[in-house]
Amino acid sequence: FLINQRSLITATLAGYPLLTWCIPSLISGAMVGFSFWLMRRLAPETSGSGIPQVKAVLSLVPLTLDLRVALVKLISGALAIGSGLVLGREGPTIQVGSALAAQLSQWFPTSPDYRRQLIAAGASAGLAAAFNTPITGVLFVVEALLQDVSSFTLGTGILASFIGAVVSQQLGGESLFSFALTPPKMRFDIREIPLYLLLGVLAGVLGALFNRGILASLAINRRILPLSLPWRVGLAGLISGSAIALLPDVFRDSTGLRTLLVTGGASWELTAIAFVTHFMLTLVAYGSGAPGGLSAPSLVLGSALGYLVGFFANSTLGVGEPIIYSLAGMGAFFSAVARTPITAVTIVFELTTSFDMVLPLMVVASISYFVAEKLYSGSIYDRLLEWNGINFSKSDLAEAPWANLTAQDVMQQRVETLTSNMAIDQAVEAFAHSHHRGFPVISDGLLVGIITQTDLKNLDQFKLASANSVGEIMTARPMTVNPQDKLADVLYLLNRYNLSRLPVTDGRKLVGIITRSDIIRAESDCLSGGKQESGPRPDPSYVVYQTRSPATGKGRILVPIHNPQNAVALLQIAAAIARDLHYEIDCLHVIRITRDRSPNEANVSTVASRRLLNHAQHLGRNWQIPIHTEIRVAHDPAQAILETIKERRIDITLMGWKGSTFTPGKIFGDVVDTVLRQAACSVIL
């Protein structure tokens, strides 16, 4: 709308050359100046593209993303781009989408991991809305912002991207082009490969130069020009408006310029002017700190570069279509600037809906990426973060010492508990002899509540005599966590609900408890290396088959089965113990492989193992005892047994022993001796 109004004013003043140049230039400067005044007063975080800020937040850097940022970015970005600055709308829409998602996560609090996924989904919706390219929206977030697909729920991102594109279309949002772009039919000619390689190299060189130019422009504006922020931006708007007013009419509308370049309607001279002008004006605009993106300008620059290569190839060698090279150049330059070759291929593919473009796009995007990375490593977004003093590598988040800690790694396994039928005076005595301020309450081995000192202080309120049981004053159905929950989620719950402890349960069975001091101690150990093991670490065992029965027992018995001849006898003993203690039975069979093979890659047969475990399940059904089965591939059976004991939280391990051993220095044999020494549970032979 703002661009159209500015063009209308220019057309109205067509008969007055001086006014045609002055008025649009002054309007552009005023619009940009107001945009920056608004930005500086209300949300300084909205300057620039916005994509680096979103990437920093997704990497757990504490930057502000909320509704205020979204509104200011929306208004200031519209003013800056509408004034004629050569910037794109994708940066503002990505930051707006992410800020709205972050605000939702504040209104409806969720865990840190889910909040991160929600912000990433908002970013994908923002890019999809900007270009009407939903697939590109998802891939850009994964490739450029998260750089880790494992932590991103693709379903959420795809749904958000789809909704963003649909809503944008329904509200009249335009694509990158104002028409349905359908390139001419083409066949990939092997003779054109050197030309595509040349285009990729040129795009890589100029893309690296573009990134350096952006940072140089920022340095000039912040360190050399003695002007305040609004004046710098207003000057950028004045320069851009003046330059565009002196150029042909097609330069006054970025959409019209893009259309002219990809339809072959421009001469090579006009295309060269467009490339140089767009290159310089983008540096001027972004260096001022104006809110706007760099993706759309990089696509226009790539289109102009590709058209020039295609024009000279067609006129001198008689091969290729300039339009095809123009579209390929878009992907090449985008890849060189953002360092996202996959996204570069998909964005042009979605804009053209032409599968014929995929092969040339793959060639030029890959070459430009490698050339640009060699000349100036790091994407423009990483460089902008470094410029603002935010330094982190791609693996910082994954390599944080406590990043992979879970509740079972930190929890205290020996938990002081009270029973639900315990008298209150006995509970008071238990508190008096303990430093804990709260106890889990169990009944028949299952967690039924939690009692704190506050509950005891409120006895008068309940009007209960000292003979009443703990079950009458406890907090029933307390909040719990699972052993596999991440430490970040545990800490979030402790802070969100102002808790001092959280029981850890497997089903309803209490397996541990976590306090704030446990988390601090665990992170301190990780930072100091206090619990790191020295020497080589063996490959962990790998589960290739498992079955699960209902988890209704109070505990678990592990029965490693290897010899079919004594398997039934071991299971009968385990069944007798399980009936008496109301336990479940875990049956484990280990397939041993040589050290030169990796457990998670070795090709093994499980036919005989499954036959043995199926027989164990059949016996369990007859005995009406829950039996879980598991097959693991490992270098060392003892290691596999110990890993199962830890992961399944085994209470008793029942092992067979043949009565003698030929292993020197071992009493029961290598496997049994290792399990006896290291198992964190009772072992029965």
DSSP state letters, 7-54: HHHHHHTTT-HHHHHHHHHHHHHHHHHHHHHHHHHH-GGG-S-SHHHH
Instruction: Give the H/E segment covering residue 671.
Output: helix 670-678
Q: Is residue 315 exposed (0-12), middle (13-18) or buried (19+ Cβ within 10 Å)?
A: exposed
> What does the pLDDT read at residue 200?
96
- In 540-657, DSSP assigns E strands to 542-547, 555-560, 583-592, 627-634, 652-654
Q: Measured between alpha carbons, how far is 367 from 377 in angstroms, rounded to an integer?
A: 14
407-528 is a CATH 3.10.580.10 domain: yes
CB count within 10 Å of CB 352 equals 22
CB count within 10 Å of CB 672 equals 23
Amino acid identity, position 121: A
> What does the pLDDT read at residue 2?
47
CA 67 to the chain's CA centroid = 22
Structure tokens at 603: 């090709």
Amino acid identity, position 501: R
Buried b (16+ CB within 10 A) or exposed e, 513-542: bbbeebbeebbebbeeeeeeeeeeeebebb
- In 40-104, DSSP assigns E strands to none
> What does the pLDDT read at residue 179?
46
Q: Measured between alpha carbons, how far is 490 from 111 in angstroms, rounded to an integer?
A: 9
Secondary-structure breakdown of the chain: helix, strand, coil percentages, each rounded to the nearest 5: 60, 10, 30
In DSSP terms, 634 is beta-bridged to 592
How far lies 388's CA from each of 47, 119, 222, 552, 577, in Å? 12, 21, 12, 55, 64
Q: What is residue 293's DSSP assignment?
A: B
Structure tokens at 336: 């060189």
Provide the 3-class DSSP secondary structure of residue 386.
helix
> What does the pLDDT read at residue 443?
86
Q: Is residue 670 exposed (0-12), middle (13-18) or buried (19+ Cβ within 10 Å)?
A: middle
Nearest to 140 by CA among 341, 351, 373: 341
- In 49-157, DSSP assigns E strands to none
Q: Measured between alpha carbons, how far is 586 from 608 in angstroms, rounded to an integer?
A: 18
> What does the pLDDT read at residue 532?
44
Structure tokens at 201: 């190299």
Q: Measured between alpha carbons, how far is 168 from 323 in angstroms, rounded to an integer?
A: 28
Q: Is residue 63 exposed (0-12), middle (13-18) or buried (19+ Cβ within 10 Å)?
A: middle
Beta-strand relationship, 475-476 and 446-452: antiparallel
Non-local CB neighbours of 194 within 8 Å, separated by 6+ positions: none
Q: Measured between alpha carbons, how far is 19 from 4 in angstroms, rounded to an integer?
A: 18
Amino acid identity, position 135: I
How far lies 336's CA from each of 155, 166, 207, in Å? 29, 29, 5
Residues of the chain with pLDDT under 50: 1-2, 13, 16, 18, 21, 178-179, 398, 530-537, 662-667
In DSSP terms, 249 is beta-bridged to none
How far lies 279's CA from each of 12, 205, 328, 519, 662, in Å? 29, 14, 18, 51, 79
Contact 146, 120 (CB under 8 A): yes
- What is 197-228+257-387's CATH number, 3.40.190.10, 2.60.40.1930, 3.40.50.920, 1.10.3080.10? 1.10.3080.10
Q: Measured between alpha carbons, how far is 290 from 33 in angstroms, rounded to an integer?
A: 9
The phi and psi torsions of 504 (rounded to 5 degrees) equal -110, 125
- Whether 197-228+257-387 shares its CATH topology with 407-528 is answered no
In DSSP terms, 542 is beta-bridged to 633
Global pTM value? 0.69
> What does the pLDDT read at residue 1?
46
Structure tokens at 181: 């772009």
Which CATH number does 2-170 carry?
A: 1.10.3080.10
Q: For the segment 487-503, what is each residue's pLDDT rounded down to a tens digit?
A: 888 888 888 888 888 99
Going from N- to C-terminal start, the domains of the chain cover 2-170, 197-228+257-387, 407-528, 542-684
Structure tokens at 650: 């085994």
Contact 475, 455 (CB under 8 A): yes
- What is 542-684's CATH number, 3.50.50.60, 3.40.50.620, 1.20.1050.90, 3.30.70.600? 3.40.50.620
